[in-house]
Amino acid sequence: MAKKITMAGLLVALAMILSYIEILFPFQVGIPGIKLGLANLVVLTALFFLTPAEVFCISLLRILLTGLLTGSGIALAFSLAGGVCSFLVMLACYKSGLLSPVGISLAGGTAHNIAQLATAACLLQTSALLLYLPVLLLAGIVTGICNGLIAAKILKSKAVLILMNIH
């Protein structure tokens, strides 16, 4: 049990560091709201060697702690909506056994962007924001594929074999 708690703490810290790196070095493509989603690498990779409940706790803790340390209430609402939706979609894709890490990441990235845009539309009480959906979907596809490729490499590495030995 101590190993699992330690591993979860390390993964939360790693996800927070990756989130913070994105804040320090923003990915600038001239379109607001687009991020690489590096913290999602931790969640995606963890799906392959931890229980869904453990991965959800890691994701939720990362969102809450990062939000408290770096953001506002509104940013936290967007992160929660995107993170929870992304986790649920990635979990369903993973459990289906039909998709590779790239496919799972792609689905999670697009779900994250859809959830955040829907949250913004609800909070601002305007459906006009939904016109931004094609841009965010394209961004979710590109970043989802990139993160999925990185996750696939991580999952093939010997480091993950060591992590998987925690059970």
pLDDT tens track for 66-103: 988 887 788 888 899 999 999 999 999 999 999 999 99
Q: Is 79 in contact with 68 (CB distance < 8 Å)?
A: no
pLDDT tens track for 1-23: 788 888 889 999 999 999 888 88
Q: Is 55 in contact with 108 (CB distance < 8 Å)?
A: no
pLDDT higher for 93 or 140? 93
- What is the value of pTM for the model shown? 0.88
Q: Is 95 in contact with 117 (CB distance < 8 Å)?
A: no
Q: How distant is the alpha carbon of residue 45 from its chain centre?
A: 10
CATH code for residues 2-164: 1.10.1760.20
Q: Is 117 in contact with 138 (CB distance < 8 Å)?
A: no
Query: 161 falls in which pLDDT band (50, 70, 90)?
Result: low
Q: 């929870």: which residue's tokens? A: 84
